[in-house]
Every structure is written in C-alpha cells, then in structure tokens.
C-alpha cells in the first residue's frame, strides 16, 4: 500500500483522524464514482461543474464539449479542484447536534493537461466509456472525426490528493446515551435497476450480458 504524503493544501484539518492518504483507498473511491465536481475560477467568479470522469493510473481524465468554458479555462493551465463523494448512510444521533453522514470523499488539486494527439485521446475516450460501464466500448460505435473534434479531454495528476472517510455509528455526549430517542444509521446503497430498452431499439436485439450484470464497484 503506497501512501501519498499530504501537502499543506490536502492535509485534512477538520477531524484529521478521518483523513486517508493511501493510494489504494483514494483510487477505490475514484473507481467507484461516476460523477466528479470540478471547481475553478473565471474572472473572479468561482464555478463548480459536475462532469463524468475516469481514472488512468495516476491521472484523472475529465471530458466536455470543446465549446465549454470550463474546458477552455482548464486547458489554459489554471488551478483546479476536483472532488468525488459517496454518501453511504445517514447517521441519526440522540441529539440534533451530532447527526451526521457516513461518506467517502476525495479532493484533488492541480492543473489540467490537454490531450491532443489522436491515439491517446481515443484511448481516453475508451477509458471514459469503460468506466461508465465495463464492456460497453466494444458494444457501441466508436467516435468519428467530428465527434473527436467536438470533445476536449484533459488529465489531472493525482499527485496532490487526499481522502476523507466517516464510518460507523453516531458519536454522542456521554450523558445522551441514556436518552430514549432512536439512534443509528440508515444505509443508502446505490442499486442498479432493471435495464429499460430504447423505444427506438430494433426488434430482436437482446440486452447484453454486461448490462444485465452491471453493478457499482465497491
């Protein structure tokens, strides 16, 4: 297990015992997620934009329209903050003050690099599709030249990243354990539903096995 040495910017300061810096935990959280939030500033106005992503080794891949302000700004090498969060449970305490949530989150700081060459850009697109649903790249049409030009893909290094994790029951004041209010956890699992075919789907096309067996990574 490799542990990242936290920088001053990524070291968890609020409840530092929840900070996690090993690569295995950080990568597991990223690999399970589907949406990240990208924070950046433009003309002194901060923005936080949700978008899809994938991990390629020690880099995070994000993509968007070539006309996107976010992608244009990030391509210029400005500072960026990317976050991924999983909400695992609501934590109900006996006191209102100690209500909480069980969660796993990652914060990444750095600067993005534009992927311009065709081969690595196509590979990045493949990774994005495969992260969404493994097996799908071979089960769909690949991007054409127009679609490639319409898409900007960036990588953000995971050199400056940290995780923060809360698990377990509520933390209470000692005198509150005697109260008769119910306390505990409400798990919030993400469970895929039954696949719904496109109404325009041609007759006789079966649901692929990778769709039938789809499940969130954990």
Q: Where are the domains of the chain?
A: 16-170+186-212
Read off the pTM. Answer: 0.91
Contact residues for 157 (Cβ-Cβ < 8 A; gap 6+):
58, 59, 60, 110, 113
CATH architecture, domain 16-170+186-212: Roll (2.30)
What are the pLDDT tens digits along the chain (218 aa)? 466 667 778 788 788 888 888 899 999 999 999 999 999 999 999 999 999 999 999 999 999 999 999 999 999 999 999 999 999 999 999 999 999 999 999 999 999 999 999 999 999 999 999 999 999 999 999 999 999 999 999 999 999 999 999 999 999 999 999 999 999 999 999 999 999 999 999 999 999 999 999 987 76
Under a CB-based contact definition with an 8 Å cutoff, are residues 107 and 156 in contact?
no
Quickly list DSSP for 73-123. Answer: HHHTT-EEEEEEEEEEEEEE-SSGGG-EEEEEEEEEEEE-EE--SHHHHHH
CA distance 117 to 54: 18
C-beta of residue 20 within 8 angstroms of C-beta of residue 44? no
Burial 146-157 (b: 16+ CB within 10 A, else e): eeeeebbbbbbb
């Amino acid at each position: 297990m490799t542990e990242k040495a936290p920088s001053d910017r990524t070291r968890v300061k609020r409840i530092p015992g929840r900070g996690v810096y090993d690569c295995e935990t950080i990568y597991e959280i990223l690999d399970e997620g589907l949406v990240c939030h990208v924070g950046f500033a433009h003309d002194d106005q901060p923005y936080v934009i949700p978008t899809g992503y994938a991990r390629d080794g020690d880099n995070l891949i994000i993509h968007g329209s070539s006309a996107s302000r976010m992608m244009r700004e990030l391509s210029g090498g400005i500072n960026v903050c990317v976050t991924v969060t999983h909400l695992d449970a609501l934590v109900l305490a006996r006191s209102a003050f100690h209500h909480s949530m069980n969660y796993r989150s990652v914060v990444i700081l750095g600067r993005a690099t534009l992927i311009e060459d065709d081969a690595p850009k196509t590979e990045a697109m493949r990774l994005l599709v495969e992260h969404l649903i493994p097996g799908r790249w071979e089960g769909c049409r690949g991007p054409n030249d127009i679609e490639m030009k319409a898409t900007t893909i960036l990588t953000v290094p995971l050199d400056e990243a940290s995780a923060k994790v809360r698990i377990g029951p509520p933390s209470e004041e000692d005198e509150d354990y005697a109260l008769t209010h119910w306390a505990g956890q409400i798990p919030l699992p993400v469970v895929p539903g039954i696949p719904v075919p496109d109404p325009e789907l041609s007759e006789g096309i079966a649901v692929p096995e990778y769709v039938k067996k789809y499940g969130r990574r954990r």
